[in-house]
Chains A and B, each alone.
Chain A
């Protein structure tokens, strides 16, 4: 079946602009995660959604970052007033309830803030 998809694959924006990144999880996966991967670094957790429960936003680095998810489907990560330090690859992952720790990652969106 189809894996996790993300769009756009690449995004170049100017400092101060807002960006929206999209994630389509694997159908039937109840959990959805967003991570950030800076060049040469590991993945940093940003936010977690599980079904209709309140999201875990503990990893969001500032109030410029927000995310939404509609039920158990698409999620969007929004970064307002982008800064150069926001440049990174943003990865989305989903997992099924039965194997909640087995996270399946999408290919990521490479964000470049000029």
Chain B
């Protein structure tokens, strides 16, 4: 049973455009939602994370929007750049020590110049 569903599988965006990646979860015990960025041959790196006490979190060009009632969250990349081309993973977990992250299957983003 896939607990975190991520879409789309791949995305092509023009330079300067907005990239939007969506995730949905089922487990209501989840209350920590990070996004990871992974470049080829590298391990995933934490990009931004949100907890359900807020509906939006922004760090630079990256914004997470969170809808608790719909059990959905999304990553928005504003002014997308070729250097943003990577695979993005959403994840979810209960906000407590010792719990593994449950990952979505990833979205491969290509930003064309």
Contact = CB atoms under 8 A, between A and B. Distances in A.
A97 B97 contact: yes
Given A42-B89, A43-B89, A43-B103, A105 B43 contact: yes
A83 interface: no
Interface in A62-105: 91, 93, 97, 100-105
Contacts of A93: 43
A35 B89 CA distance: 14
Contact of A33 (B36, B89, B100, B106): B100
Most buried by B among A48, A100, A107: A100
Given A101-B32, A101-B34, A101-B49, A45 B100 contact: yes
A31 B100 contact: no
B43 A108 contact: yes
Nearest to B105: A42
Interface string B26-45: 00000010101000011111
A45 B97 contact: no
B40 to A, nearest CB: 11
A14 interface: no
A104 B42 contact: no
Contacts of B98: 31, 48, 50, 56, 100
B69 to A, nearest CB: 23
Given A101-B32, A101-B93, A101-B95, A43 B101 contact: yes
Q: Lowest 3 A-B CB distances belong to which pairs?
A: A105-B43, A45-B100, A42-B103
Interface of A: 4, 31, 33, 35, 40-45, 48, 50, 56, 59, 91, 93, 97, 100-108
